[in-house]
């Protein structure tokens, strides 16, 4: 294999050298002057380092872009596992804590007809909306139990070094971990002072903000690259009160 590669490389070099000689021969026939041909040769030779620099920069950019795309594909696989195991259920669970959640859900009813502008509109809405959280609306013990059960899975995600390349998703994980710690640190949620309730509300709001935005971007990725996965994700949309996986 190595020998064949070396032979092919030598053949390519010889071919290119032969083509160069032919082209310079054509130039000599047309110009009819070795002096003019020498001037042209030295001029091209002077620019050779610049050509090398330009080509090197272009190749480096192409390689970096391919590497970035490869990393993003791996990250999106991890993010997909996160939403399958934790994210979708957590998004549905936390939606119950959102004041006027029905209005929020109307902006996140993603379907197969959504275009790029629809995803952009949803993300703008999430970034600009001041979501109100009332943790007293639901039973926080259930949320605590759910998150504690998923702790080992969340910890395993942090072992993936590629997550360091995705700052937004890393922020989401840290927000979730902090919420787990806050809930686990409390033996009971009865007779909580208002200041403590407000603190929990803020932690839930932080998680919900990161989680909802990451979910929209993940759905956008599925629609663009994996339509068959997007179809199922739409049918199991956690923003739907009664999602149904059946295809009608």
* pLDDT, tens digit, 9 for 90 and up, residues 61-117: 877 777 777 767 778 888 888 999 999 999 999 988 888 778 888 888 898 889 999
Where do the H-state alpha helices sit in the chain? 2-31, 34-82, 88-95, 101-106, 116-128, 140-149, 151-158, 167-184, 194-225, 227-235
**Looking at the chain, how many residues does it have?**
248
Cα 190 to Cα 205: distance, rounded to the nearest angstrom: 20
Q: Please tell me the predicted confidence (pLDDT) of residue 28.
A: 64
| pLDDT category of residue 33 using cuts at 50, 70 and 90 | low
Q: Please tell me the predicted confidence (pLDDT) of residue 192.
A: 86
* pLDDT, tens digit, 9 for 90 and up, residues 134-149: 888 778 888 999 999 9
Cα 36 to Cα 48: distance, rounded to the nearest angstrom: 18
Beta-bridge partner residues of 98: 133
Residue entry with tokens 């070094």: 161
| pLDDT category of residue 121 using cuts at 50, 70 and 90 | very high
Q: Please tell me the predicted confidence (pLDDT) of residue 66.
A: 76
* pLDDT, tens digit, 9 for 90 and up, residues 142-197: 899 999 999 999 888 888 777 766 788 889 999 999 999 999 998 888 888 889 98
Q: Please tell me the predicted confidence (pLDDT) of residue 140.
A: 85
* Of 111, 110, 112, 108, the residue nearest 125 (C-alpha): 108
If one counts every other C-beta atom within 10 angstroms of the C-beta of residue 236, the result is 15
Average pLDDT, the chain: 83
Q: Please tell me the predicted confidence (pLDDT) of residue 32.
A: 62
Is 52's pLDDT higher than 60? yes
Q: Please tell me the predicted confidence (pLDDT) of residue 18.
A: 74
Question: Which comes out higher in pLDDT, residue 236 or 62?
Answer: 236
Angle subtended at Cα 121 by Cα 116 and Cα 122, rounded to the nearest 5 degrees: 100
Give one DSSP letter per residue of 7-24, joined into a string.
Answer: HHHHHHHHHHHHHHHHHH
């Amino acid at each position: 294999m190595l020998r064949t590669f070396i032979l092919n490389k030598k053949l390519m070099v010889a071919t290119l050298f032969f083509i160069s000689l032919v082209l310079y021969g054509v130039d000599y026939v047309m110009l009819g002057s070795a002096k003019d041909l020498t001037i042209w040769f030295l001029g091209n030779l002077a620019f050779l380092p610049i050509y090398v620099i330009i080509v090197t920069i272009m190749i480096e950019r192409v390689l970096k872009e391919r590497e970035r795309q490869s990393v993003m594909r791996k990250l999106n696989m991890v993010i997909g596992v996160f939403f399958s195991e934790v994210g979708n259920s957590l998004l549905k669970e936390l939606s119950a804590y959102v004041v006027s959640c029905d209005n929020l859900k109307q902006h996140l009813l993603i379907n197969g007809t959504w275009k790029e502008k629809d995803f952009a509109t949803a993300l703008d809405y999430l970034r600009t909306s001041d979501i109100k959280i009332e943790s007293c609306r639901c039973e926080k013990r259930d949320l605590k139990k759910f998150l504690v059960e998923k702790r080992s899975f969340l910890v395993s995600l942090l072992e993936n070094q590629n997550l360091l390349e995705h700052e937004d998703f890393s922020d989401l994980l840290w927000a979730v971990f902090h919420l787990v710690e806050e809930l686990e640190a409390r033996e009971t949620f009865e007779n909580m002072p208002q200041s403590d309730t407000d603190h929990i509300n803020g932690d839930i709001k932080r998680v919900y903000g990161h989680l909802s935005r990451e979910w929209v971007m993940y759905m956008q990725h599925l629609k663009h690259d994996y339509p068959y996965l997007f179809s199922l994700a739409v049918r199991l949309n956690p923003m739907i009160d009664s999602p149904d996986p059946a295809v009608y």
